[in-house]
Amino acid sequence: MAACVTRVELSVSCRSLLDRDLGSRSDPLCVLLQDVGGGRWAELDRTERIKNCQNPEFCKKLVVDYYFEKVQKLRFGVYDIDNKSFDLNDDDYLGGVECTLGQVVSSSVFTRPLELTQGKPAGKGTITISAEEIKDTRVVYLEIEARNLDKKDFLGKSDPFLEFYKQSDAGTWQLVYRSEVVIKNNLNPCWRKFSVPLQTFCGGDLNKPIKVQCADHDSDGSHDLIGAFETNLTELQKAGDSSPVEFECIHPEKKQKKKSYKNSGVIRIKSCKIETEYSFLDYVMGGCQINFTVGVDFTGSNGDPRSPDSLHYISPDGINEYLIAIWSVGSVVQDYDTDKLFPAFGFGAQVPPSWQVSHEFALNFNPSNPYCQGVQGIVDAYRQILPQIRLYGPTSFSPIINHVARFAAHSAQQGAASQYFILLIITDGEITDLDQTRQAIVNASKLPMSIIIVGVGEADFKAMEFLDGDNGVLKSLTGEPAARDIVQFVPFRQFKNAPREALSQMVLAEVPKQLVSYYKWQGWPPVKPPDMKKV
């Protein structure tokens, strides 16, 4: 079992960023990467993008697990985002900084100059990072509307948005939330329900001062203040379904100038609720078993296993890319499964005695009991079956996804967070049933399961990247979107020279988030919830 770690929340702001946009200011975003060894960096988190701003104060906090016993090398990169793609390679780099999480945690405020490359400063740009330990897993949910806001735009009404600030121990105001959707031309807006972790919102202190600002959004970044008020969470919590809490929105300069000034509108808190948000460890420690299944691609495109250029060729030292992938992922996952019995299947081969092509045959040739004892059992079954089958085709993923989905659906009917399923598919990537696989993944996205695809060899993995859904929500052929993102694809070739744990870290990075998102969606707490502080 992995040690229970502290989670740390990083607040990021920048000053004097380079200006890369013609005719307007840069639209910055900050990305956080961690060194995973072998010269590779894995993305941990990223902030929102702020339009037309050279001195951004990012609202979204970057969350990272802090291991005291590890040197965690971090890289913060600031980019000017001018398109909708998730990939940052096509965006202008505004500078970055490398440091360790220990350096950030041990400084109350960590400020460094941004660099374009080592030793080359990014103009006068600086980055400031402050860290706060997340001790509280409660979340504040708020529903807010406004009435009769002041008109700020010469042509048309105001485009209002909200900002919430908490007061730090030093008395300064720190941004904790900015409403994402600007409501255009509306002096009586009703904002979408939103949530903020209690730790972020007020450090867990219900009486900590909170400042709420309402401003008129301008596309050039020069937002005009409509008004503000101060309160605390105890006051906000008085809002109920039938009795909202109202606050006058006051513009300090207008109040000074005009004796008859009353307010610049009224902000109404329709509801304010505090709920517990459970973590991956809460579910695992609360009794959730993680069931691990492996699917191995035995199609002809892998090459004859007896030939040294085949992806299934076992080298003199007893390994190939399939075996390394099984070991890397299985050795981490097996710690979370008490019986250590893992079903393992092959697909795309002709299987004795009938030599029919099968798309889900047990690696141990025992369909009624396809379980292997531990990761070593999977490896042994794989080695024994290789000389006994004929690699064939086509490459169909949907049968094995549907196979695991049947077990996940049965578990979901129990209505408890007791079983979660991880399917590892190792493939050379030349999929032939893409439409059926899309449908299978969309169906599986409503079940307690995640799919990891490791691509071996040098093929073009465009179809795998499409299934991953990082560049937009995966949809079935009929247009039905996935309920949540459950697929993580990683090409093995990127890890050929990296340490083994680098592959498992990259491949399993999304699983905790996917597990929590499923149980949160269902509203299921851990089977044995942790002892929580009472609200």
Do 298 and 312 meet the contact criterion of CB atoms below 8 Å apart?
yes
More confident residue, 227 or 533: 227
Statement: residue 69 has pLDDT above 80: no
Mean per-residue pLDDT for 492-520? 84
CATH class of the region 6-134: mainly beta
- CATH domain 138-276 topology: Immunoglobulin-like (2.60.40)
Q: Give the rounded percent of residues in the chain with a pLDDT score beyond 70.
A: 95
Tokens in use for 476?
């079935």
pLDDT per position as a tens digit, 310-336: 999 999 999 999 999 999 888 888 877
Tokens in use for 524?
């299921």
pLDDT per position as a tens digit, 379-421: 999 999 999 999 999 999 999 999 999 999 999 999 999 999 9
Grade residue 506 by pLDDT with cuts at 50, 70 and 90. confident
| Cis geometry, peptide bond prior to residue 529 (ω within 30 degrees of 0) | no
| Predicted pLDDT of residue 384 | 96
Statement: residue 159 has pLDDT above 90: no
Statement: residue 424 has pLDDT above 90: yes
Q: How far apart are CA 85 and CA 51, in angstroms?
A: 16
More confident residue, 186 or 334: 334
Q: Percentages helix, strand, coil for the chain, rounded to the nearest 5?
A: 20, 35, 40
Mean per-residue pLDDT for 355-370? 95
Q: How far apart are CA 248 and CA 146, in angstroms?
A: 10
Tokens in use for 16?
């004097």
| Predicted pLDDT of residue 401 | 98
| Predicted pLDDT of residue 1 | 33
pLDDT per position as a tens digit, 448-496: 999 999 999 988 888 888 888 766 789 999 999 999 999 999 899 888 7
Locate tokens 């592959």: which residue?
A: 503
| Predicted pLDDT of residue 512 | 85
pLDDT per position as a tens digit, 90-106: 899 999 999 998 888 87
Query: Quick check: do 6-134 and 138-276 share a fold?
Result: yes
Locate tokens 């079940």: which residue?
A: 447
| Predicted pLDDT of residue 2 | 42
Domain 281-522, architecture per CATH: 3-Layer(aba) Sandwich (3.40)
| Predicted pLDDT of residue 508 | 83
Partners of residue 297 on adjacent β-strands = 347
Residue spans per domain, the chain? 6-134, 138-276, 281-522
Dihedral pair phi/psi, residue 456, rounded to 5°: -105, 160
Partners of residue 278 on adjacent β-strands = none
Q: What is the mean pLDDT of the chain?
A: 89
Statement: residue 190 has pLDDT above 80: yes
Mean per-residue pLDDT for 277-291? 85
Grade residue 513 by pLDDT with cuts at 50, 70 and 90. confident
More confident residue, 515 or 37: 515
Residue 43 Cα distances to 31, 32, 35, angstroms:
7, 6, 9
Do 202 and 233 meet the contact criterion of CB atoms below 8 Å apart?
yes
pTM, two decimals, is 0.67
| Predicted pLDDT of residue 212 | 97
Tokens in use for 468?
């991953």
Do 241 and 251 meet the contact criterion of CB atoms below 8 Å apart?
no
Grade residue 276 by pLDDT with cuts at 50, 70 and 90. confident
